[in-house]
Amino acid sequence: MASRKTKKKEGGALRAQRASSNVFSNFEQTQIQEFKEAFTLMDQNRDGFIDKEDLKDTYASLGKINVKDDELDAMLKEATGPINFTMFLNLFGEKLNGTDTEETILNAFKMLDPDDKGKIHKDYIKRLLMSQADKMTAGEIDQLFQFASIDAAGNLDYKALSYIITHGEEKEE
């Protein structure tokens, strides 16, 4: 039996879990395991919850150290309570009902483009995709690059790629 202090501390987590208790039925076991790995990578202090400091540390591990507090607060506010693993799954369940919007994909790329040039060098993208989270193979990345507009200097036009990902074909000029 857990102590009274422990029960009180876990109250937020239990509320979050009750609010989405059937979220596990929305995913296959392999997906749940992949989400657990992602959650564990993000839960930097290993307390079972993702908080602002965990997000800052996660961004830092990806090379982005100047994330604004209001951006982190906005991310945390997407959850209806403390972000334990069940809440994390629930958030991703809502997001995975289809492809992200073009705006969402663009915003993800923009995080890697602090000068807002609309382009990111293909070698940088390749290095990230082969080393972070659900690592892609060189072949998978080459396949992705077949659909991307890459200039002579090796810069990938992520605005055009975002359009292709969400609409299936390049815009007619």
Q: Is the pLDDT of residue 165 over 80?
A: no
Span 21-27, average pLDDT: 70
Q: 102-110 and 158-167 are packed helices; what angle lies between their axes, rounded to 10 degrees?
A: 150
Q: Is the pLDDT of residue 43 over 80?
A: yes
Topology match between the domains 26-96 and 102-167: yes
Do residues 9 and 71 lie in contact, with contact meaning Cβ atoms separated by under 8 Å? no
Domain extents in the chain: 26-96, 102-167
Q: How much is the pLDDT for 152? A: 96
* Whole-angstrom distance, CA of residue 74 vs CA of residue 54: 14
Q: How much is the pLDDT for 91? A: 83
Span 18-22, average pLDDT: 48
More confident residue, 136 or 164: 136
Tracing tokens 């930097």 back to the chain, one arrives at 44
Helix, strand or coil, per DSSP, at residue 155:
strand
* Whole-angstrom distance, CA of residue 24 vs CA of residue 21: 7
Span 96-113, average pLDDT: 81
Do residues 29 and 78 lie in contact, with contact meaning Cβ atoms separated by under 8 Å? no
pLDDT tens digits, residue range 125-144?
A: 999 999 987 889 999 998 88
Both tokens of 62, joined, read 């990806």
Q: For 102-167, give the CATH class.
A: mainly alpha
More confident residue, 109 or 3: 109
**Best CATH choice for the domain 26-96 from the list 1.10.3720.10, 3.40.50.300, 3.30.70.890, 1.10.238.10:** 1.10.238.10
Q: Is the pLDDT of residue 149 over 50?
A: yes
**pTM for this entry:** 0.46
Q: Provide the percentage of residues in the chain whose pLDDT is more than 70.
A: 79
Tracing tokens 């009180």 back to the chain, one arrives at 8
Residue 48's pLDDT band, with cuts at 50, 70 and 90, is very high
Give 151's contacts (C-beta < 8 A, 6+ positions apart).
Answer: 119, 157
For the chain, the average pLDDT equals 81
CA-to-CA separations, 61 to 24, 41, 58, in angstroms, rounded = 29, 10, 5
Q: How much is the pLDDT for 15? A: 42
